[in-house]
Amino acid sequence: MTNRLYSLLFVPFLFAACNTSPPTAWLRYEPQDLTGWQSVGDGMVTTTMLGARVDVDLKKRDTRIELAIENETGGDLRVRVGPEASQAPTAAIGELRRRRIDQTRAEDVRDFVPYVSMQSEVLTTGFSGTFFLDCPLGREPTIGQQIQLVLEVRNAKNGFERRLLSLVATNAGTLGDAPRR
């Protein structure tokens, strides 16, 4: 009787274990080469381009990248962001949010607009632009995959700066402690 009871209790656990998928790794990006950038914390880097402050947040628990630019230069800036080796993209790799630097919403600016890789966007003086790159490569990366994130800034005086941020996709955990989106 006792053996039968144990058998009946064991079968559901065995069935559940056989139908549970194995743990899978999830990834995040880590900086590999910080030439032209300064590290300001775990996964946070910053630089200045043509007088505009640029902050990059490499999320600790996923492969999203948040890149913010504050334009206090007194003139408009033309900004392009994306991976260096990207083909002519047609799908959005994220979204762009333009706001005044004091974070108030401008009347004539839509809050979030889709952003395609290396698409040229104008950032007027007194505004900040935050690029939420949900899928910088246009697809999910694989572990160990390297990416050169390109940031190009141009001003009205024909000033031009281009920075590369070398990143590598690395293991950030397993499914058991997966990020919440």
SS3 percent helix, strand, coil of the chain, rounded to 5, is 10, 50, 40
- The per-residue pLDDT string of the chain (181 residues; one tens digit each, 9 = 90 and over) reads 666 655 656 656 555 555 666 566 688 999 998 999 999 988 899 999 999 999 999 988 888 999 999 999 999 999 999 998 766 567 789 999 988 888 776 666 777 899 999 999 999 999 999 999 998 888 888 889 999 999 999 999 999 999 999 999 998 776 555 455 4
Which residues have CB under 8 Å from 25's CB, separation 6+?
143, 171, 172, 173, 174
Instruction: Look at residues 119, 121, 120 and name the one whose alpha carbon lies nearest to residue 109.
Output: 121
Domain 27-177 has CATH 2.60.40: yes
* DSSP codes of every residue in 3-31: HHHHHHHHHHHHHHHHTSPPP-EEEEEEE
Domain boundaries, the chain: 27-177
Which residues have CB under 8 Å from 21's CB, separation 6+?
175
